[in-house]
Every structure is written in C-alpha cells, then in structure tokens.
Structure 1
Amino acid sequence: MAETRAGAPAPALDETMLAMDVVDTIRHADRVVERELEGPGRQARLRERLREIYASQGIEVADHVLDAGITALEQQRFAYTPKGEGWKRSVATAWATRARWGRFALAGFGVLVVAFGVYHFTVSAPRAREAAAIARELETELPRALRAEHDRVLAGTQEAAPRAEAARLLAEGEAAARAGNLTEARARRTALNDLAARLASAYTVRIVNRPGEPSAVWRVPAANPRARNYYLVVEAVDRDGRPVEVPIISEEDGRVARVSRWGLRVPEAEFERVRRDKLADGIIDQPVIGQKVAGSSATNWTVQTNGGAILSW
C-alpha cells in the first residue's frame, strides 16, 4: 500500500495498481467489509469509508477508481486461485515433505519386505517344492515304481490269477498317474507291493496248542440264532517258528487286518475232532493244517474249510 508523509502531495499511481490496492485494503479491513457491505447502499458506504482510509494516508483516490476496486473485489478478479492438483505438483510436494513421511514409508517398506520374505520361505517356496515333487513323482517315480512292482509279481509266480491282477493294477496305476491322481496311483503301487509280498511269503498254518489258550471256538451267527459256526484258532509261522502276519478278512463284519492269529472256519466234525484230541491228553497230535509256499497265492489245507475267518473270539 502506498504511503505518504502528512502534508505531502499524493504520488501519481497507475489506476490499475490503485484499484488492486483498493481491493487489498478491503480484504485486510475485515471490519470494513463486514459492516459496509451489508444492507442497501453498501457500495456507497464502502466508497466513503475507503475514501476516509486513503485520506488519512494522504492519498486522494477518484470515485471511479474506488468503484473499480469494489467491483473487482466482488468479481474476484485480483484473487489468487490455486491450480488443481497435478501429478507434477504432487511429486514436488511429496519431495518437499520427504523428511516428514520418509521414515514412515521406509518402515512400511521394511515391513512389506519382511512379510514377503516370511510368506515366500514359509508358504510360497514350500508349495512350489511340493508341487514340483508331486509332478516329478507322477511323471517319473510312480510309473517306474508301478512297473517294478508289476515285474516283481511276474517274477514271483506262474499262476494266472495273480499275474492278471498285477496287469490290472499296473494299468490302473499308470492311468491315474497320467491323470494327475496321486492318491489312486499310490494306492495301486501299494496294492502291487502287497500282492508281491503275499506271493513271496511262505508259512505254515497250525492250530494254537498252548496251556490256557483256546484251540477251537464256536459262535452263534446274528443272522441265524439257531445255528452255530465252528472255528479252529490258528496261527501262521515261518520255518523258524516266528509269527507271520497275513491279511485276514472277518466274515462277521468285513474288517480287514494283518494278523498272525485268527479263527478259521471248519465243519462241526473237524471242530469235534480237534476238541476230543486236546481233551484226551492236552496235546493236539496233528497241529499243522495248512501250508503256504512262495509263488502261490493260496494256502493248501489238510482240513475241510471254506476259508471263512474271524478276528476275535
């Protein structure tokens, strides 16, 4: 704002600059604006008030200049309106305030790096390794293992039935591996392994003949309370007398278990023969009733039996 000493003539000012000064004076004189711009005749009152303000400073301002300043204020012609937020301004602002937000951003970035590292080493990488291992097993290891177990079966027997079963299991296992069905492919490999192990095993089946243990039992079937089923309690042993576990299916509940001792179903006459033999002197004269040789899938029995079995008595 132009100022002059008391009594000095007012300097000559460009009217546009003077009008801008009028606007600035009005903006900084809040009371003037609040009081003089209210109600009718506000421009006239404001003009007089402005003339007094300039006169006190020794400046004489023409009415049309005051009117131009008032009009410019109302039209916001000399007001500064900041430009909208552009990407350049945003970048500049961020750079200027980097000291304030930089350490928080750096800490956040560090947290993200640590979190990514933890996720990678505990989740992502193990999953990737597992997926690669499964793919390798399906493409290479399982087909090779299936073929090896199949060949082991063929090498261990000349019987048609187990060889046909081995061929079926091999085909199903290879198809499952090609389809990406890991569970089914593994199951066929296990079945081939079990078949090869059964064929390779050799053991003797004998009636249990020890003090305090039953050698024969009978059961009343749930489906026919008037009937009785008769069983010899038997065990499988190798040539050194050690127990051999074999897969047995219970005819009572269909449960399958690998056991070395089970109840073998026989006719009543065979049951009575063994019972009388043991009652005579506490010893069974002919305890061996079956023989399983390597390469064979069946047991050769010396007693009459349909192969039915129970797992508990």
Structure 2
Amino acid sequence: MSATEPMSAATTADKAPLDDVMLAMDVVDTLRHNQDLVARELAGEAREKQLIERLRTIYHQQGIEVTDAILKQGVAALEESRFVYTPPKPSLGVSFARLYVARKRWLPAAFALFLMLAIGLGGYFLVWAPYRAAQQEQVRVELAEQMPAQMDALYQTIFEETKVTQAADDAALIRDRGKRAAAEGDRAGATQAIADLTSIRDTLRQEYQLRVVSRDGAKSGFWTFPEVNTEATNYYVVVEAIDSHGVALKLPILNEENNQTETVDIWGIRVPESVYRAVEADKRDDGIIQRNIVGLKEFGYLDPSYLIQVLGGAVTRW
C-alpha cells in the first residue's frame, strides 16, 4: 500500500457522514415530490419495507445505490419533518424581522414621509406658529392701545377745530362706539369708527366755493317730475366745489331720489323755481353766469353756507 492510501481512506471516512446526510436529504426530497406515494406508503408502519423497496427501485433506475440505512433515515426524517423549513409562528419579533429584511422596499418611502413630516412640523412650529402668534399679538395691541389712542387723538382734533357743536357731538358718539368695538375685539367696527372720525376732521378742514357750472356742453340747471308726485316739478342748479387752488373737489352727496350717497364732482342742488329762473336768465343774457357763486364752505364747518335759497335736496344723476 502506498503512502497515499491511508490518507484516501481517512478522507473517505471523513466524507462518508456528509454523503450519508446528503443522500438522506435527497430521499426526503424525493418523498416530498411524490406526495401520492408518501400518502399511500406511510399510511401504516407495516408498509415501511415496501416503501423502502420502492425508493430503492427509483434510485436504482437513476444509477444510484442507496443503503437501507439511508432510506430508513430519509423516511424517518420525513416523518420528523427534518430537512423541511417550518415558518415561524406570527409574533412581534417575526414582524420586525420581516420589516428589516424588506427594508429596501419600504425604507426610502418611509424616509421621504419622515422628511415631509419633519419639514411640515418644523415649518409649523418654527415659522407659522410664531408668525401667527405675532399677528395675534399685533392685533391685540392694536385693539387695546393703538386704535383707541387714534380715536382719542382724532376726537381731540375735531373738538379743537370745529366751529359747530354738531361735529364735536357726532365725533364723541363715534369715538365711544369705536372704543366699545375695540374692547369687544371687533376690529372692523373700530376701523369704521376711525374712518368716520377722519371723515369729520377732513370735512371740517375743507375750504371751497360752490359755483354754478357754466361751460360748453354742461347743463347749468334742469327740472324734473318727482316719481312720488308727478304733478310737482323739482328745479335744480348744477354746481361744483372749487378749492382755493381752482381744483374741483369730489364730495359725498346724498341723492334724494334713491337715498344713496355717491362721491361726485358735479351735482344738482334743489332750489325754488324763482332761483332756477334767475340763473337761467343770467346765463341767457350773454352765455355767462355772472353770479355763479351759490355757497361758501369755511374751515371748521361741516356744511357750506348758501348765498341763495335752497330746498335741502340734491341729485347726482339726471
């Protein structure tokens, strides 16, 4: 015997257990792929020999010689479910393990969702919430301090500049109403009160002349039949307000026909027929109205003082 023979024998002895295991696994695999055979032959232990013979025949047809020990081992392994993977029972740990194994599928989407959530929460708590809080604080300070102070200042200006008690009385009522609105958190009501006080102050400061319109293409007067009494006739003189710089002003005028206030630069004031006829005659004389100033608005007053007789009505459309 050569020097290599002992080594070959030792190697064969070392490999034999592994080969036996592989054969046993192959036997189990053969049985698993022949489920009908297993169902029939394993119905009782008495048929084990017959099953082994059948298995030996199968392997012999494939040119593989398998010992009875290996065949018995394979049959026993099948019965014991050896070499068969049995899925673990559902549990929290198994669920986490499966999530970890499948992380390549869900991790990018989860990271994107987390990033969106982080940006959204960060934007809300770091940007929107402070901005909203600052706005609310600004509104609170405005309603509690700034707007009431502005109302007081406007009222004081009106009280000092007016030459008629009506302006001061009206301003006091508006101021008190505006302060109540501010205390109740009604910003719109407080804003309207400030606008009304500002309007009174600006009206007091206005200075202008009311002149009869006298130019080509424009009427200087007209008459109408009122809808409420078609047998009566209303006479109007068309006027405009001219300030000290010769600029025509736009003023809020209450239209007596529809009870709506419009801001216009030309309107008609209702006058007696005698006044209307006098203006008509003045214009017919030479095409120029000599006595064209019909009223004066002075500083400190709400309304103009008329130099002619008026009946207290006005229209903005004709």
TM range (shorter): 0.7 to 0.9
Q: Does 1:167 align with 2:168?
A: no
Q: Which secondary structure does the structure 2 equivalent of 1:134 belong to?
A: helix
Residue among 49, 59, 67 paired with 1:58 = 67
How many residues align? The count is 292
Q: What amino acid maps onto 1:29 in structure 2?
A: L
Shift of 1:54: 8.2
Q: Deviations over 1:205-253 (max 9, x none)?
A: 1222334432211112222232211001111122343323322111112
1:294 maps to: 299
- How do 1:223-242 residues align onto structure 2 when only pairs under 5 Å count? 223-242=228-247
Change (3 A) 1:277 1:146: same
Specify the alignment match of 1:204 in structure 2: 209
Are 2:28 and 2:74, in contact at CA under 8 Å, matched by a contact in 1? no
Structure 1, unaligned runs of 5 or more = 1-20
Question: Which runs of 5 or more residues in structure 2 are unaligned?
Answer: 1-22, 58-64
Which of residues 29, 34, 49 is equivalent to 2:36? 34
Q: Is the Cα–Cα contact under 8 Å of residues 211 and 240 in structure 2 kept in the other structure? A: yes
2:283 maps to 1:284: no
Q: Specify whether residues 161 and 215 from structure 1 end up closer, same or farther in structure 2 by C-alpha distance, changes over 3 A only.
A: same
Amino acid at match of 1:156: E
Q: Secondary structure at the match of 2:248?
A: coil
Seq. identity, %: 27
In 2, the alpha carbon distance for the partners of 1:121 and 1:194 equals 42
Q: Write the deviation string for residues 93-146 of structure 1: whole angstroms up to 9, x where unpaired.
A: 545555565445444444555666778899777655544443343233222222
- Shift of the 41–308 alpha-carbon distance from structure 1 to 2, 3 Å rule, reads same
Are residues 1:86 and 2:92 paired?
yes
CA distance, structure 2, for counterparts of residue 95 and residue 79 of structure 1: 20
- Give TM-score, length-normalised by structure 1: 0.74
Contact 2:41/2:50 (8 A) holds in 1: no
RMSD value, Cα: 4.1
1:222 counterpart letter in structure 2: E
The structure with more helix, counted as a fraction of residues: 2
Query: Following the alignment from structure 2 to structure 1, what is the Cα–Cα distance between the partners of residues 119 and 314?
Result: 62
What residue is the counterpart of 2:249 in the other structure? 244
* C-alpha spacing 1:179/1:51, structure 2 compared with 1 (3 Å): farther
Shift of 1:254: 2.1
Distance change in 2, residues 1:66/1:291 (3 Å): closer
Query: Cα deviations across residues 35-65 of structure 1 (Å, max 9, x unaligned)?
Result: 241499565445630476589743459x9x9
CA contact (8 A) 1:26 1:32 kept: no
- Choose from 270, 274, 283 the match for 1:269: 274
Q: Is the 8 A contact 2:253 2:314 kept in 1?
A: yes
Q: Secondary structure at the match of 1:241?
A: coil
Q: Summarize the Cα distance change of 1:203–1:32 in structure 2 as closer, same or farther, 3 Å threshold.
A: closer
Looking at structure 1, the residues matched to 131 and 232 of structure 2 have their Cα atoms a distance apart, in angstroms, of: 60
Secondary structure at 1:29 match in 2: helix
In 1, the alpha carbon distance for the partners of 2:67 and 2:200 equals 120
Instruction: Label 1:140 to 1:46 Cα distance change in 2 as closer, same or farther (>3 A).
Output: farther
CA contact (8 A) 2:31 2:38 kept: no
Matched, 1:145 2:150: yes
